[in-house]
Structure 1
C-alpha cells in the first residue's frame, strides 16, 4: 500500500498555477497498478481516494500517520468495481462485486480484503472514504438495481444516465455520497451549465475512455476557469470553490463522490453561463 498526501489549495493561489502545478495539486494520474493498492489522502474534507487491482488478497489498512488501529475506525467507504468481477470480504462476510456494482462499508468494520475472481484478469476496485460518526450497515447495490436518472439530449451533446448509489434516497451513509454517470454514444459534455457546492468537495474518476481519447476537465472559480487534460482511469480532486465539468474527445463514464457538511444531493449553486469566464 502506498499513500500520497495532498493539501488544500486557496483559490487565489490556484489562479497563478502553471499547467504542471494544476496537475500536481488536483489530478491523480495513476491509481490502478496491478497487484497493488494505491491511495491519496486529500485534506479537502479529509477524503481518501484509492485504487486496488488484486492478483492475490489485498487488505485495506490504515496508514501509520492516521494513528488509528484500522482503516474504518473513524471512517466509512464506498467501493465501485470498474473492472472484471471481484470479491470484497468484510469481517469474514463475502460480497461479489461485479462490474459497476457498488459496495458500502460503514464505520467500525475491522477487516476489509479485496480479491479477484480471475487473478489473471483482475478486478479494478475504486474507492472513496470519508470521516464517519455513526455505523451504518454494509450494503451492496448492483447497477441493475440502482434507479437510473436520464438527463440531457443529443442536441446539447449531454445525453447521459446517472446512477445514485450512496445518498439520502439510497444506501445510507454519514456524509459520503457516490454515484456514476454514463454518457451515451456521441455525447461528450457533463455538468454544464456548471455549479459549485461550497459545503462539500467532489472527486471525479473518469474511465471507459479509449486509449487515445481524453477529457478536458474544467475547474477553477466561475470567473477564473482552468482546464486539466485527463486520460482513462485518472481522477480529479475538486475543491468546494471549484466548478467541475468536462467534455471528451469521445464518450466516457465517470464516478462522482462527495463529502462535506451537507448531505443533500441537490445542494448546489448553479453558475449562469454569462458569469462563466
Structure 2
C-alpha cells in the first residue's frame, strides 16, 4: 500500500468517477487510507507501506498497479513490474522496484506492452485470471503471463471496467465470484462459465459495478467495502455467509475512483521469504498521518 501525501490531488482523472469529481481533501483521504490499512492488520494481514517520494506521483495510493507478487516454492518470490498506460504513473514502478529488491523479491519486467499488474489479476480455484481490454492490452498480458505458473484464464473486459477488478471479484471463502457480464467479452464470459460453472457466478449489473460491487477487499468471510456498494449486493453476500464491513471512502473512492481492492496489491508468501524495513511498517506511516491530522 502507499498512503496519499499531504498534497495529494487528482491528476490523471482517467476513470468515470474522477473525470468530473471536485478536488479532494487530502487529509481526509489519508485518514480513509489509514482506516483501511488498520482494518487489514486487525484481520491478520501485514501492511507494507511505501510513502511516495514525490507529490507528482498522485496515482501511488492505488497500489493494485504497483506490481504483482508471484510466490515460488524454495525460491525468492517474483515481483512482476507493471507497464502503466498513464504517463504520469510510469515513474512509480522504479520506487516499488527498489522496495521489492530491498525486501528480497526477485524483480522482473514483462518488457513490452501495457500491463497494469495486480488490478488485472485474480485467483480462485487454483486458477489465475489475467484481464485485458481496459488499460492492460493483450500484448502486455502475454508478456506478463510467462511469470504465472499453472492454469491461466484470459478474460477480456471493456469500459467502465478499466481493470479486471471492476469486472470480477473472487470470493474464495464461499466458493463464488461476483461477475458483470455486461463488461466482459461474450467469449470470455463463456470461458468463465465453462471453467467455473454457472452456480459459482453471481451476476451483477453495470450499474452495480459503477457503485463498486466488485471492488471490495475480501479477507476470509469479511468484505472490506466502500459505503457506496448497493444494498442489493450486500444482501446477496450476507445471504452467502459473508459479512460486509462498510468503510467511508468519500475521497479515495467516490472522488478518486479507486476502492479498497484498488488500494492494495495483495501477496501471500512463505514465512521468512521476505523482510520488511521498519520504516515501511504501518506503525511508522500511521504516526505521520496522525500527526498531520
TM-score (norm 1): 0.30
Higher relative contact order (CA 8 A, sep 6+): 2
TM-score (norm 2): 0.29
Flag the structure with higher strand content.
1
